[in-house]
Amino acid sequence: MSTADTPINDRFAAEAVAYRPRPAGAVSAIPATGTKASGATAGAAPTGALTVEPATPTSAVSGTGRPRRRNHHAEGLEAGRRSTRTLLWIILAAAMVLYGFPFLYLLFTSFKAPIDTIAVPPTILPKEWTLENYTNALGRSGVLASFINSAQTAIISTLLSLVLAVPAAYGITRYKTPSGRVFIMAALVTRMVPPVAIGIPLASMMSSAGLADTPIALSIAHTTISLPLSIWLMSSFFEAVPNDLEEAATVDGCSRLGALWRVVIPVVSGGIAVTAIFAFLASWNEFLFALLMTAVRSQTTPVVIANFQTQFGLDWGSMTALAAVYSIPVILLTLLLQRKIVAGMTLGAVKG
Amino acid sequence: MSSRITISRIAALGGLSTAVLLAATACGAGGPAATSGSAASTVNVLVEAGGHAELTGVAEQCTKDTGINVNFVELPYDGMFNRLSSEFSSGNVSFDVAALDSVWLPSFKDAVQPIDELFTDEAKKDIFPALVKEANVDGHFIGMPAWTNSEIILYRKDLFEDAKNKTDFKAKFGYDLAAPTTWKQYQDISEFFTKDGMYGTDVKGGVETEWLAHVLQAGSPMVLDANNNVVIDNAAHKDALDFYTSLVKSAPPGAAQVDWAAAQNLFNQGKTAMTRFWAHAYRQIPKDSPVAGKVGAAPMIGGSAGVAGVPGPWYLSVPKATKNSDAAKKFVKCAYDHNDLGIESSLGLASRISAFEKYQDKPGYESFKPLIETLKGQATATRPATAKWQQIVDTVLVPMLQKAVAGGDSATLLADAKKQIQDLLK
């Protein structure tokens, strides 16, 4: 409905209309006090902003002078909004450059000739594009095996995190017992311990358990990192699901477990996707535990990438090439689950 | 149900089943399931990533000679000490042989086995004296040198042989332009080539070894004397520090942050005319570098005590906790016997004098004669045998050097350093 069709009976309604952005070509129902003022206003207004045409004064606002002030006020607000939006875009662009540049630099470096990778001063774009670094990096012994180990470890760790975090978070949020509250706080405390402090004891424990140099040992270690976060994330998602849903399912004949499985889990599937991707990424990119706990059979790619830096030099080209290849699966995974992630984040956002 | 959903479910189920199966069997994709002691004919060798290439050829030969298969566990340098500490302290090691940096020997002396039987008189004659001394901790040899290194002088031969440079240099300094042998010559040449956007040399504020080599050249033990007294404030240390900082004016800006990688890059890019650098770098100059084919090598410069360098050896040691001692020792012996095979690797180093001498006259190995001369230098010595050495380097020596190259007073800095080191050693 055009604003022209809107009946305006009082000042407040007029203000409301005046503050509202309009589509291009819309005609304001707010009368102007004179042609001069109208012309000035129209000249300042961009497409889609408030337009004012010379109009016959109406009884509602005629002769008061207030609409003119209101128009200026509205324009001021609109201009303010535009400035804020521009500023936000600039900040956003700066943040994107700040966060994205290192990765772009890594990508460009991976296509540089060896001598260009160590140029002084450094160059951003390769002088000559080459795939030599990719050939070197992927041709290095153990790289393919390390990819398989990374995937295997990350999948097991993600599954472990979800299998443990979903029931834990559900129990904590639904039963709200004092021990549950203590448990969730205790889970958070484990995040406060620096991984290096538990890395060596964990490695010793795994070794004593006969699990040294196995993906399962590393997966368990990675679960210690991702589980607390997973419990917290899942708790916030479960909190957002109204109890009425489960009660309705129970009324329809579901058991508590059935309601969880058939009603709650589908509702929080976005949240589970978010949790899964965080757990997967935590394991996929983890370095310290992998360094301490893997050897011949289970070494993961982050350690192999780090091996390009030796006491005798740094093979920048190969390192960046392997790092670029290693980031592809997580980028694809994120894109694949993008919709679920957004849905999951929204679910968490409306909590409470 | 659509076929797409069916395929997705099958794929997911397949993936999960694979993961669970692999997890249940505790298998990885990295190689054979050979941990310490699992097979007498297989040894796991823990090695820093850069040293892997050094031992690859040796391992192949040892497999042929002895039937021992070798698995390498490659780790980055920065994480290797932690890994070793962790496994040694647990008493459960995943390797049968470890390649140890010389500075770690004192820290791990109780966790590795004596290998005195491998240090025959003949072997001791063929290993650089400083290395024989360093391998002996508390009366036992605990590591066999696998490869060693030292700083030498790398210089731009094309610039040194340029007729105009020769004439101009002689006119300015009164002697012929040639590879420097003394501190004074190094200062003069550095000053001479600092022009037209180029620098005579680099000054590395981010690493300590180079300054320590100058301390040896000035006639003092490095930082600690034979009785573990802190001598960092003596005249030799001050002279060495003053010489070191005197080169800042002939070096690229930002000396406090320059480390090995930066210095190597600067030289390979043709920004510096000379560098004091590890000998292996000579063979690692990229073919497309502007200085490729234009670099000469000379022994490390000498001070009042003569030529001296700080060797950078790595030792093969056998942990006490391995259940595969015999095979491990066989491998260490075999690695010594075929030590020269390391020279054929990309790193191109060895530890036996005879191995270096075998290659010293071959084209492409021009850095070996200067390296041998430096390693045999009377003042050449290894770093102090204290378990706190790395801590001293990281928390005292490097920060002190960074302040010094930024213009700090050398006497004050050395006095402060002495106090800090004494506190660390308490």
In A, minimum Cα distance to B346 occurs at A312
Burial per residue of A200-238, b for 16 or more beta-carbon CB atoms within 10 angstroms, e otherwise: bebbbebbeeebbbbbbbbbbbbbbbbbbbbbbbbbbbb
Q: What was the pLDDT predicted at A48? A: 39
- The DSSP code sequence of B305-334 is TEE------EEEE-BTT-S-HHHHHHHHHH
Phi, psi of B43 (to 5 degrees): -125, 140
Cβ separation of B27 and A309 shorter than 8 Å? no
Determine the residue among A296, A310, A316 to mutate to test chain B binding: the one whose Cβ has the most chain B Cβ atoms within 10 Å: A296
Q: Pick from B19, B26, B78: which is nearest to A214 by CB?
A: B26
Q: Which of residues 144-203 of B touch A (CB under 8 A)?
A: none
One domain, residues B394 and B322: no
Residues A309, A118 contacting (CB under 8 angstroms): no
pLDDT tier for residue B119 given thresholds of 50, 70 and 90: very high
> CB distance A213–B94 less than 8 Å?
yes
Please state the rounded mean pLDDT for residues B119-136: 94
Regarding predicted confidence, which is higher, A124 or B237?
B237
Which pLDDT value is given to residue B242?
97
- Position A15 confidence tier, pLDDT thresholds 50, 70, 90: very low
Both B306 and B208 in a single domain?
yes
Q: Is the peptide bond before A121 cis (omega within 30 degrees of 0)?
A: yes
Q: Identify whether residues B402 and B287 lie together within a single domain.
A: yes
Note whether B257 contacts A: Cβ–Cβ < 8 A: no
Chain A residues close to B15, C-beta within 8 Å: 155
Q: Is residue B364 a part of any domain in this protein?
A: no
CATH number at residue B411: 3.40.190.10
Write out pLDDT tens, residues B201-223: 999 999 999 999 999 999 999 99
Q: Which of A74-83, B28-37, B189-198 has the lowest mean pLDDT?
A: B28-37
Q: Which domain holds residue B106?
A: 42-149+312-351
The set of residues, in sequence order, having a beta carbon less than 8 Å from that of A201 and lying 6+ positions away, is none
Q: Is B263 on the interface with A (CB under 8 A)?
A: no
pLDDT > 90 in chain A, percent: 35
User: With a cut of 0.85, is the ipTM above it?
Assistant: no
**A307 contacts B75? CB cut-off 8 A:** yes
Q: What is the 3-state secondary structure (H, E, C) of A255-277?
A: CHHHHHHHHHHHHCHHHHHHHHH
Regarding whether B327 and B306 lie in a shared domain, the answer is no
Name the closest residue on chain A to residue B93, using Cα atoms.
A207
Considering Cα of B387, then B391, then B396, then B398, what sign does the dihedral take? positive
Which of A159, A297, A310 shows the shortest C-beta gap to B30?
A297
Residues B270, B405, single domain; the answer is yes
Query: Which of the pair, B88 or A43, is modelled with greater confidence?
Result: B88
User: Is B284 within 8 Å of chain A by CB?
Assistant: yes
Asked whether residue B322 falls in the same domain as residue B282, the answer is no
Q: Are A297 and B50 within 8 A, CB to CB?
A: no
B347–A312 C-beta distance less than 8 A: yes
Do B298 and B328 belong to one domain? no
What's the whole-number mean pLDDT along residues A310-323?
A: 87
Chain A residue at shortest CA distance from B270:
A120
pLDDT at A69: 64
Cβ within 8 Å, pair A303-B82: no
Same domain, B248 and B321: no
Distance between first and last Cα of chain A: 35
Any domain includes B320: yes
- Please indicate, yes or no, if residue B4 is contained in any of the structural domains: no
Instruction: Establish if B101 touches chain A: CB-CB under 8 angstroms.
Output: yes
For residues B34 and A163, the model is more confident at: A163
> CA of A2 to nearest chain B CA: how many angstroms apart?
45
| Yes or no, beta carbons of B30 and A149 under 8 Å apart | yes
CB of B271 within 8 A of CB of A120?
yes
Domain count, chain B: 2
pLDDT of residue B345: 86
Architecture label for domain A140-349: Orthogonal Bundle (1.10)
Q: What pLDDT band is residue A319 in, cutting at 50, 70 and 90?
A: very high
The stretch A129-145 carries a mean pLDDT of: 91
Higher-pLDDT residue of A41 and A331 is A331
In chain A, residues with a C-beta closer than 8 Å to the C-beta of B28 are 145, 148-149, 152, 213-215, 294, 297-299
Least confident of A208-217, A222-231, B8-17, B367-376: B8-17
Q: In chain A, what residues touch B83 (CB-CB under 8 Å)?
A: 291-292
B199 and B177, same domain (yes or no): yes
Give A24's pLDDT tier (boundaries 50, 70, 90): very low
Task: Please state the rounded mean pLDDT for residues A53-59.
Answer: 42
Residue B146 has pLDDT above 60, yes or no: yes
Contact B75 A303 (CB under 8 A): yes
For residue B321, list chain A residues with Cβ-Cβ distance below 8 A: none
The predicted pLDDT at position A52 comes to: 40
- Looking at the predicted structure, is the pLDDT value of residue A26 above 50? no
Query: Is B26 close to A152, i.e. CB distance below 8 A?
Result: no
- How many CB contacts within 8 angstroms connect chain A with chain B? 169
pLDDT in tens, A103-122: 999 999 999 987 788 776 78
Closest CA to A271 of A180, A145, A162: A162
Among B19, B86, B264, the residue with its CB nearest the CB of A155 is: B19
Same domain, B387 and B250: yes
Mean of pLDDT values over B65-76: 91
Give the pLDDT mean for A287-310: 90
User: What share of chain B has pLDDT > 70, as a percent?
Assistant: 91
Res. A344 pLDDT band, cuts 50 70 90:
low
Q: What is the mean pLDDT of residues A39-64?
A: 40
For A212, which residue in chain B has the nearest alpha carbon? B94
Same domain, B195 and B301: yes
- For residue B21, being part of any structural domain is answered with no
Cα–Cα distance, B324 to A10 (Å, whole number)? 95
List chain A domain ranges. Answer: 3-84, 140-349
Whether B72 shows a pLDDT value over 80: the answer reads: yes
pLDDT at res. A257: 86
Proportion of chain A above pLDDT 70, given as a percent: 77
Q: Which residues of B are less than 8 Å from A204 in CB distance? A: 86, 89-90, 92
Q: Answer whether residue B259 shows pLDDT above 60.
A: yes
Is 50 exceeded by the pLDDT of residue A11? no
Q: Considering only CA atoms, give the Rg of chain B.
A: 24
pLDDT at A67: 59
Mutate to test the interface with B, among A109, A130, A208, A213 (most CBs of B within 10 A): A213
pLDDT surpassing 60 at residue B248? yes
Residue B27 lies in a domain: no
| Mean pLDDT of the residues in chain A | 78
Q: How far is CA B69 from CA B37, B41, B72, in A?
A: 13, 6, 10
The Cα of A108 is separated from the nearest Cα of chain B by a number of Å equal to 19
Asked if residue B349 has pLDDT above 70, the reply is yes
What pLDDT does residue A335 have?
Answer: 85
Nearest CA in chain A to B46: A295
If we measure between CA atoms, which residue out of B285, B289, B279, B348 comes closest to residue B309?
Answer: B279
**Which of B43, B73, B198, B284 is the mutation pick for testing A, counting most A CBs within 10 A?**
B73
User: Is the CB of B278 inside 8 Å of chain A's CB atoms?
Assistant: yes
Same-domain check for residues B133 and B95: yes
Task: Judge whether residue A49 has pLDDT over 90.
Answer: no
Per-residue pLDDT, A40: 36
A254 vs A348: which has the higher pLDDT:
A254
List, for residues A236-267, the tens digit of each pLDDT value: 899 888 888 888 888 888 888 888 888 899 98
> Higher model confidence: residue A72 or residue A286?
A286
Chain B residue with the nearest C-alpha to that of A204: B90
Whole-number Å distance between alpha carbons of A59 and A264: 58
A79 or B330, which is more confident: B330
Six token digits for residue B376: 């045999």
